[in-house]
Chains A and B, each alone.
With several copies, the nearest count.
Chain A
Amino acid sequence: MKKIEAIIRIEKFEEVKDALKKAGYPGMTKTPVEGHGKQKGLKEQFRGTTFEVEFPPKIKLEIVARDSEVNQIVDTIVTSARTGEVGDGKIFIYPVESVIRVRTGEKGEEAL
Chain B
Amino acid sequence: MNLRSNVMRIVVRVGLTLSLVCLVWLAWAAMRGSIALAADPTGLGGTADAAVDYVWILVCAFLVMFMQPGFAMLEAGFCRAKNATNLMTKNLMDYVTGSLVFFIIGYAIMMGGDWHGLWGTEGWLMLGDYYDVDKYLNMFWMLVFCATAATIVSGAVAERLKFKAYFIYSIVVSAIIYPIYGHWVWGGGWLSQLPFGLGAVDFAGSGVVHAIGGFVGLAGAMVLGPRFGKYDRDGKPRAIPGHSIVLAALGVFILWFGWFGFNSGSTCNAHHLRIAVIAVNTNLAAAAATLSALLIAKWRTKKWDTGMALNGAVAGLVAITAPCAWVEGWAAIAIGLIAGGLMYASVKFLEAKGIDDPVGAISVHGTCGLWGLLSLGFFADGTYGNYSVEAPYVTGLLYGGGGEQLLAQFISCIVVFAWAFGTGYLTFKLMDKAFGVRISPEEELQGLDIPEHGTPAYPDFVTMRKS
Contacts and interface: CB of A to CB of B under 8 A. Distances in A.
**Secondary structure type dominating chain A contacts:** strand
Contact of A48 (B344, B445, B459, B464): B344
A75 interface: no
Interface in A34-54: 34, 42-51
A46 B307 contact: yes
B305 A47 contact: yes
Contacts of A47: 78, 239, 305, 307-308, 311, 347, 360
B217 to A, nearest CB: 16
A21 B242 CA distance: 26
Interface residues of B, number: 34
Nearest to B443: A11
B462 A48 contact: no
Interface in B242-278: 242
Contacts of A51: 238-241
A45 B339 CA distance: 22
Contacts of B307: 46-48
A14 interface: yes
Contacts of A45: 239, 301, 303, 305, 454-455
Contacts, number: 68
B456 A48 contact: no
Contacts of B446: 10-11
Interface string B28-53: 00000000000000000000000000
B466 A49 contact: no
Given A47-B308, A47-B311, A48-B348, A14 B454 contact: no
B367 to A, nearest CB: 15
B329 interface: no
Interface of B: 78, 229, 237-242, 297, 300-301, 303, 305, 307-308, 311, 344, 347-348, 351, 360, 442, 445-446, 450, 454-456, 459, 462-464, 466-467
Given A10-B466, A47-B305, 6 more contacts: A13-B467, A14-B229, A44-B455, A45-B239, A48-B305, A49-B238
